[in-house]
Amino acid sequence: MIRSAMVTSALLVTALAAPVGGSASAQSQPSNKWVMHCTQEGGRDCGVQATIDGNSLLGQFLVVRYSAAYRKFSVVGDGMGRQASIQVDYNPFISTSICGQGICQYDDGKSAQLLDQMRRGSQITVQLLLQGTEAGPFQQTLSGFDNELQKAVAAQQGR
């Protein structure tokens, strides 16, 4: 599991630096919009992600990503995360403390639960507990999530 987490973490970091759609980096992708993204580092990994802008003068942001290859959600922020929490609509927050290298990753069960809720939901609230501070809560619409997810799954399967 640790190897899987490290590989997924490395892939997320790569995804944040790799081109999206061939023209812009994920860090400069439009804020608050779900986009499909594939990377070839360490093997093909397609997913759907959103850079969520905190709309504050502090310039805080989070990236929420679902990997179609690993079937896991990850959250990365500006700092070393200790715990990530995602709430879909008015459902309870789903949290993870599997964090390392600035990335928090959800296990298989929690990822499946989040995916099910997000495909049917309308908005998420995301919080990231950092070393000594907290980022969020940030809100993000789920409009476009399922469409981009379908593209990512098809691309992952080579269709």
The pLDDT of residue 3 is: 39
Residue among 67, 56, 144, 152 at smallest CA distance from 106: 67
The string of pLDDT tens digits covering residues 2-42 is 434 434 444 444 444 333 333 334 445 667 899 999 998 87
The pLDDT of residue 56 is: 61
The string of pLDDT tens digits covering residues 51-79 is 998 766 556 789 999 999 999 999 998 77
Q: Are 9 and 15 in contact (CB under 8 A)?
A: no
For 106, the token pair is 């959800």
Q: In order of start, what are the domains of the chain with their CATH numbers?
A: 2-156 (2.60.40)
pTM of this prediction?
A: 0.81
Mean pLDDT, residues 43-57: 85
Residue 114 CA to residue 111 CA, distance in Å, equals 5
Percent of the chain residues topping a pLDDT of 70: 77
Task: Give the CA dihedral 21, 26, 30, 35, nearest 10 degrees.
Answer: 60
